[in-house]
C-alpha cells in the first residue's frame, strides 16, 4: 500500500490482533487517530481502536478489517509528556512520540532518521492513565526479552492473548515449571491486591457511587427519550461516554440494546469468537454455553466475565462476520455452534445409528448417541429431541430410562394393522426382532 | 404371532414406543389411530363392553417387552374413541368407559335382523331372552351388555319398531316387536 508509513499488523478472523509470543495487551482506547504532524503528506490513520501491548502500539480500523497497523515500541525513541492545554479539556488530547524511521519515511526500529508522530485521543479517555501505561510498557522493554528466546513459543497461550510470564528466563525441567508457577502466582497475587485496593476504595464510597450512578442512569433515560436518536454529535458523544462509564462501573446501560454495544463488549465478543474455535473442534462442532462460560473464565484467570457479559458478547456476533453463532433449542438449552454446522448431517448420522440391529431391538439412549456421535451427552440429547420433532424418532419412557427408536408409526397402516409391507423400516424391525425371539 | 387369549396381536404390539404417549403431533395422531383400531378389534372379538381404567386390562400392557400404558395414555386413547362416537364415558371421573364396537344404531339393526330371522313379528320376548336365549346363540346379541341392549331397544321404540313394557317381576322387561 503506497504511503503506508506504519508497519502492518495481522488480525484474526474475528478482527482481533494476532499477538507475538510473549506479547500482552495493556490498554485499549477507541476513536484514536495516528498522524504525522511534521509530514502532512503522510496519510493519517483516523478513528480506530488503539491497543497498547507490551511490544507494540496497535491501531485497528473500525470499519475495514484489513486496515491494521503497528508501531513497535522498540522504534520509539522518546515519549513527550502530554501538554495540558485548553484543547485537552475538550477531549482531544495528544500524545507525541519520536520514532525511528527509514529514509523513505517508514517506521522502523533500525531506521536512520527519526520523525515525530502524534496519537490523537478523540474519544473519552483518561490521558494520564494511558500515558503512564505507555511509559511503563515502553520502559519494561518486554519485546527484547522475547526476541532473545526464539525457541520458546507457546502458541496455545499466545493466540488467546492472556497473561503469562513476561520474563525471558529460560524455562526448562521441573524447576522451570515451578518458577513459571511461582511467577504466575506472584503476578496473580499482585493484580488481586490491586483489585482489592480499588474495591476497598470503592466500598468506602459505595453509597455516593450508587446515588451518582442512579442519577446518571435517570439522566440517560430521560435524555434518550427526549432527544430520540441524538440530534447532534456532541449529544451522541456524551451519551456514549456515559454508557461506557456506567458499563465500566458495572451497571448495564438502560438505554436500548440496539446501541451497538460498548467497546468492551465488542472486544470481548471478538476475543470470545477466537477462543471458542478450539473447544468447538474438540467438542465436535457444538458446545453448551455453560461449558464455554467455564472454559473462558478459567482461561482468563482473574478478569472473570459475568454470564450477562457472555450472553451479550454472543449476541453481538450477529453484527460481525464471525464463523460461530449462538443457538437456543426448544428445551431452552443454549449452545455455541459453527455456522457451518449442518443439522441434516447430524440427522443422517442419527438415522444410521438407530437402524443398526442393536438399536432396533433396544433403542438408543442419549449416552449411546453421545458415544456414537462423539459429542457431549447433553448435546446428543438435544439432537435426539430435534430428530424426534422432525418425525425421525419416537421416544420410549420406562423405568429403564429415556430411549429413542426409529419412528415406525409412519409405516403402519391403521386400516390393516396386521400388514407388514415387504420393504421399509417396519419390515426390517420385524425381521430383526423376530429373529432374536 | 403373539396372542392375548385367542386374539392375534399385531407386530407393533412389541414396539416399545407404542406404549409411551408420543409428544409430537403427527406421531401421536398415528399412535392414537393404531390404539383405537386395536381396542375396538379386541373388544369386538372378546365381547368386552366396558373398560375400567383402574383395573387390569390385558391389552394395555405387554409383559414381553415390559411396558404398560400410563393412566394418562389410557385416558387419551379412550377419549379419542369417545370423540369418534365409538365409546362413552360412564362416569365424570373417566374411570369407566363403555366401548361401542358396534354403535347403538348398529345394535338396533342387529336386533331387527334377529327378529326377522326368527319370525318374531307380533311376539313378545323378554330382554334377558334376547341376549341369552337359545335363539340368540351364534349371533352378536348373545352375551351382549344389558345397558347397551336397553339403549338399542329404546332407539327402536322411538322408531316404533318395538314396544317395551314391564313384566310381571320388576327385573325383567318384555319386548314386543312390530316390524
Higher local confidence (pLDDT), A208 or B92: B92
> Which of the residue ranges A81-90, A176-185, A307-316 would you say has the lowest mean pLDDT?
A81-90
Task: Kindly give the interhelix angle for A289-300 and A263-275, rounded to the nearest 10 degrees.
Answer: 100
A405 touches chain B (CB under 8 A): yes
- Give the CA count within 13 Å in the CB-facing half-sphere of B157: 12
Query: Which pLDDT belongs to residue B38?
Result: 94
Pick out chain B residues at pLDDT < 50. Answer: none
Distance between A290 CA and the closest CA of chain B, angstroms: 27
What stretches of chain B show up as alpha helix (H) in DSSP? 25-46, 71-83, 104-117, 127-132, 146-158
CA angle A354, A374, A155 (to 5 degrees): 165
Query: Which pLDDT belongs to residue A367?
Result: 93
Nearest Cα neighbor of A18 from A119, A153, A167 is: A153
Write the CA distances from A422 to A170, A351, B17, integer angstroms: 73, 20, 22
| Cβ B172 vs Cβ B128: under 8 Å | yes
Domains and CATH numbers, chain A: 7-144 (2.30.29.30), 262-338 (1.10.10.10), 354-435 (1.10.10.10)
Contacting residues of A for B41, CB less than 8 Å apart:
417
Which residue on chain B is closest to A409 by alpha carbon? B30
Give the Cα separation of B163 and B155 in Å (integer). 11
Phi, psi of B103 (to 5 degrees): -70, 165
Which one of B14, B20, B30 has the shortest CB-CB distance to A410?
A: B30
Q: Does domain B3-99 have CATH number 1.10.10.570?
A: yes
| Residues linked to residue A56 through DSSP beta bridges, in sequence order | A72
Nearest Cα neighbor of A16 from A263, A260, A270 is: A270
Query: Which pLDDT belongs to residue A219?
Result: 74
Query: Which pLDDT belongs to residue A93?
Result: 81
Q: Confirm whether B3-99 and B104-177 share one CATH topology.
A: yes
Task: Report the C-alpha dihedral over residues B40, B44, B50, B53, rounded to 10 degrees.
Answer: -40
Residue A164 pLDDT level (bands cut at 50, 70, 90): very low
Taking CB atoms and an 8 Å limit, are A394 and B26 in contact across chains?
no
Residue A385 pLDDT level (bands cut at 50, 70, 90): very high
Supply the ipTM of this predicted assembly: 0.85
Query: Which pLDDT belongs to residue B68?
Result: 93
Give the Cα separation of B170 and B167 in Å (integer). 6
State percent of chain B over pLDDT 90.
56
Q: b/e string for A317-327 if b means 16 or more Cβ within 10 A?
A: beeeebebbbe
Q: Is the pLDDT of residue A166 over 70?
A: no
One CATH from 3.60.20.10, 1.10.10.10, 3.30.460.80, 3.40.440.10 for B104-177: 1.10.10.10
Boundaries of every domain in chain B: 3-99, 104-177
State percent of chain A over pLDDT 70.
77
Higher local confidence (pLDDT), A156 or A300: A300
What is the pLDDT averaged over residues A145-153? 48
Give the Cα separation of B173 and B114 in Å (integer). 18
H-helix or E-strand spanning residue A206 = helix A206-227
Which residue on chain B is closest to A406 by alpha carbon? B17
Contacting residues of B for A415, CB less than 8 Å apart:
37
How confident is the model over A73-113, as pLDDT tens digits?
Answer: 888 888 888 766 665 556 568 888 888 888 777 888 888 88
Helices and strands (DSSP H and E) totals, chain A: 16, 13
Which cell is A371 given? 458415544
| Residues linked to residue A116 through DSSP beta bridges, in sequence order | A98
Which residue on chain B is closest to A437 by alpha carbon? B64
Q: b/e string for A375-412 if b means 16 or more Cβ within 10 A?
A: bbebbbbbbbbbbbeeebbbbbeeeeeebbbbbbbebb
Complete edge-to-edge strand list for the sheet that includes strand A25-35: A7-8, A68-72, A56-61, A45-53, A25-35, A113-121, A93-101, A76-79
Give the Cα separation of A353 and A345 in Å (integer). 13
> Is 0.95 surpassed by the pTM of this model?
no
How confident is the model over A227-275, as pLDDT tens digits?
Answer: 444 445 555 566 667 666 666 655 544 443 333 346 777 888 888 888 8
Q: Is the pLDDT of residue A149 over 50?
A: no
Amino acid at each position: 500500500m503506497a504511503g503506508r508509513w506504519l508497519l502492518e499488523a495481522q488480525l484474526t478472523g474475528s478482527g482481533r490482533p494476532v499477538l507475538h509470543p510473549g506479547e500482552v495487551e495493556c490498554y485499549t482506547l477507541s476513536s484514536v487517530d495516528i498522524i504525522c504532524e511534521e509530514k502532512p503528506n503522510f496519510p493519517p490513520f483516523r478513528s480506530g481502536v488503539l491497543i497498547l501491548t507490551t511490544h507494540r502500539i496497535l491501531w485497528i480500523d473500525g470499519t475495514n478489517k484489513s486496515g491494521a497497523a503497528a508501531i513497535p515500541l522498540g522504534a520509539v525513541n522518546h515519549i513527550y509528556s502530554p501538554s495540558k492545554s485548553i484543547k485537552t479539556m475538550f477531549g482531544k488530547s495528544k500524545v507525541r512520540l519520536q520514532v525511528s524511521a527509514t529514509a523513505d519515511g517508514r517506521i522502523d526500529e533500525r531506521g536512520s532518521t527519526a520523525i515525530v508522530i502524534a496519537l490523537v485521543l478523540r474519544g473519552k479517555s483518561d490521558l494520564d492513565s494511558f500515558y503512564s501505561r505507555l511509559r511503563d510498557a515502553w520502559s519494561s522493554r518486554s519485546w527484547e526479552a522475547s526476541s532473545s528466546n526464539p525457541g520458546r513459543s507457546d502458541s496455545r497461550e499466545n493466540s488467546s492473548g492472556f497473561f503469562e510470564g513476561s520474563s525471558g528466563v529460560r524455562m526448562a525441567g521441573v524447576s522451570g515449571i515451578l518458577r513459571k508457577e511461582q511467577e504466575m502466582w506472584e503476578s496473580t497475587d499482585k493484580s488481586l491486591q490491586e483489585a482489592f485496593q480499588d474495591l476497598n476504595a470503592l466500598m468506602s464510597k459505595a453509597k455516593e457511587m450508587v446515588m451518582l450512578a442512579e442519577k446518571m442512569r435517570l439522566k440517560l433515560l430521560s435524555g434518550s427519550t427526549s432527544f430520540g436518536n441524538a440530534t447532534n454529535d456532541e449529544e451522541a458523544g456524551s451519551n456514549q461516554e456515559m454508557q461506557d462509564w456506567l458499563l465500566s462501573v458495572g451497571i448495564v446501560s438502560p438505554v436500548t440494546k440496539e446501541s451497538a454495544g460498548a467497546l468492551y463488549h465488542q472486544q470481548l465478543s471478538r476475543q470470545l469468537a477466537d477462543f471458542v474455535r478450539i473447544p468447538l473442534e474438540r467438542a465436535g462442532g457444538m458446545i453448551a454455553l455453560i461449558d464455554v462460560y467455564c472454559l473462558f473464565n478459567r482461561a482468563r484467570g482473574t478478569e472473570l466475565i459475568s454470564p450477562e457479559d457472555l450472553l451479550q458478547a454472543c449476541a453481538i456476533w450477529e453484527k460481525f462476520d464471525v464463523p460461530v453463532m449462538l443457538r437456543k433449542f426448544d428445551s431452552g438449552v443454549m449452545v455455541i455452534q459453527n455456522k457451518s454446522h449442518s443439522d441434516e448431517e447430524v440427522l443422517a448420522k442419527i438415522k444410521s445409528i438407530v437402524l443398526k440391529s442393536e438399536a432396533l431391538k433396544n433403542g438408543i439412549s442419549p449416552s449411546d448417541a453421545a458415544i456414537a456421535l462423539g459429542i457431549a451427552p447433553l448435546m446428543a440429547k438435544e439432537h435426539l429431541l430435534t430428530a424426534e420433532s422432525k418425525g425421525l424418532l419416537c421416544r420410549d419412557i420406562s423405568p429403564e430410562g429415556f430411549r429413542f427408536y426409529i419412528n415406525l408409526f409412519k409405516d403402519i397402516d391403521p386400516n390393516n394393522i396386521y400388514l407388514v409391507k415387504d420393504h421399509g423400516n417396519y419390515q426390517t424391525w420385524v425381521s430383526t426382532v423376530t429373529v432374536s425371539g | 404371532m403373539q396372542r392375548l387369549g385367542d386374539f392375534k396381536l399385531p407386530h407393533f404390539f412389541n414396539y416399545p414406543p407404542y406404549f409411551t404417549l408420543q409428544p409430537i403431533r403427527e406421531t401421536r395422531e398415528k399412535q392414537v389411530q393404531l390404539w383405537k383400531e386395536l381396542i375396538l378389534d379386541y373388544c369386538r372379538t372378546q365381547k368386552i363392553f366396558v373398560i375400567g381404567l383402574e383395573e387390569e386390562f390385558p391389552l394395555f400392557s405387554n409383559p414381553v417387552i415390559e411396558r404398560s400404558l400410563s393412566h394418562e395414555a389410557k385416558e387419551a386413547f379412550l377419549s379419542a374413541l369417545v370423540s369418534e362416537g365409538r365409546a362413552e364415558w360412564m362416569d365424570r371421573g373417566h374411570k369407566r368407559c363403555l366401548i361401542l364396537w358396534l354403535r347403538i344404531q348398529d345394535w338396533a339393526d342387529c336386533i331387527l335382523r334377529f327378529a326377522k330371522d326368527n319370525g318374531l313379528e307380533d311376539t313378545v320376548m323378554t330382554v334377558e331372552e334376547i341376549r341369552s336365549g337359545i335363539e340368540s346363540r351364534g349371533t352378536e346379541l348373545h352375551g351382549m351388555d344389558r345397558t347397551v341392549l336397553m339403549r338399542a331397544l329404546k332407539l327402536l321404540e322411538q322408531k316404533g319398531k318395538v314396544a317395551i313394557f314391564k313384566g310381571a317381576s320388576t327385573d325383567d322387561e318384555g319386548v314386543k316387536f312390530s316390524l
